[in-house]
Structure 1
Amino acid sequence: MNHNHSQEESQRKTKPVAPKVKELIDRTQSVILATVDAEGSPNSSYAPFVQIGNTFYILVSFMAKHTKNLADGRKTSVMFIEDESATKQIYARERLTLEASTSPIERDSETWNNVITTLKETHGKVVNIISDMGDFILIALQPVKGSYVNGFGSAYFVDENLEIIEHRNDVNHQSR
């Protein structure tokens, strides 16, 4: 038996612990957004975020196409991904992809004020300026389900609490 093959097989069966998901999020300052508009046309973008509990918050402008899609509560996917400069293998970048429900946060509510304070602490003085602009709104992104990948053959389903629930073995790679 090929020793490398058995080593790869055992790695695939070993569930990474949830802290790996948290570590990836902690190393990331912005989230990649995938939204759709009323006609079903896709749009991708990004936004700086903060995480409070299992909810992610972004402060976005209506000048950006994705903001209306997010504010209208349409299907949304978010991705946290390892920096290209830090990856050992470009085809196997560590990443967390989540389906998320979205909800606007009322301006000047307790949640708004707490999140804006956290955004200022995390992303600096620019938040003072943009949070006062009328076209900027605060959106909560609540995870529904997703997947975490940390290498070839190492993909896992993630629940709404960002916990790894099982190995994703529904698709096997095929040799030609």
Structure 2
Amino acid sequence: MNEQTQEAQRQAKPVAPKVKELIDRTQSVILATVDAEGNPNSSYAPFVEIDNRFYILVSFMARHTKNLAEGRKTSVMLIEDESATKQIYARERLTIEAIPSQIARDTDEWKTIASKLKERHGKIIDILDEMTDFIMIALNPVKGAYVNGFGSAYFVNENMEILEHRNDQNHQTK
């Protein structure tokens, strides 16, 4: 890539609303967790975002729930739907490192978040809310990356704000 193209990419830095738009149109997060022995597990969960935190309601029947409940670092990804992408290799995505924390059941905080989950995902939340094997987890972002095309990758902070271009080297050709 020539210098002019590289400079154009740096100047085309997306603004935070692009990240927010991806969050708003995505219904679930992809989770990467590890167990006590360091074994990886990938899964997903529907979410609601409130004040830059992602909240999920998950069952202990799922392997990832124990990993989350024990507070191990987690990676969370929101990614553009395959059917909507123009280029499968360049899907828009937000990947963040997060620290999970459990929300105490039957507290005002739990009730507020459950209400927001219900607004977003429907009446199923009323059913899940009554099941004692379900717990609510806050996924608290630490840092991450937002990608919206080839050579267009940016660091983001815990507030989902874009900080800087991730790689000034860009992709190299033979």
State the match for 2:85 in structure 1: 87
Structure-1-length-normalised TM-score: 0.94
Q: Output the amino acid matched with 2:105.
A: R
8 Å Cα contact 2:98/2:140 also seen in 1: yes
2:103 aligned residue: 105
Q: Is the contact made by 1:98 and 1:147 (CA closer than 8 Å) also made in structure 2?
A: yes
Contact 2:53 2:139 in 1 (8 A): yes
State the distance in 2 between where 1:32 and 1:68 align.
16
Paired position in structure 2 for 1:67: 65
Q: 4+ residue runs of structure 1 moved beyond 4 angstroms?
A: none
Q: CA shift at 1:9, angstroms? A: 4.3
2:12 to 14, 33, 39: 14
Q: Distance in 2 between matches of 1:174 and 1:7?
A: 13
**1:96 lines up with 2:94 in the alignment:** yes
- Mapped to 1, the partners of 2:57 and 2:141 lie a distance apart of 17
User: Alpha carbons of 1:169 and 1:13: their partners in 2 closer, same or farther (altered >3 Å)?
Assistant: farther
- Shift in Å at residue 108 of structure 1? 0.4
Letter in 2 for 1:129: I
8 A contact 2:6–2:170 mirrored in 1: no
Partner of 2:41: 43
Deviation at 1:99, TM superposition (A): 0.2
Q: What is the RMSD computed on CA atoms of the aligned residues?
A: 1.5
What one-letter code is carried by the residue in structure 2 that aligns with 1:96?
L
* Local SS of the residue matching 2:127: helix
TM-score normalized by the length of structure 2: 0.95
The one-letter code matched in structure 2 to 1:125 is K
- Residues 14-42 of structure 1: CA deviation (Å, up to 9, x unaligned): 21100000000001000000000000000
The 5 A counterparts of 1:18-167 are 18-167=16-165
**Equivalenced residues, count:** 173
Q: Report sequence identity in percent.
A: 74
Q: Which runs of 5+ in 1 are unaligned?
A: none
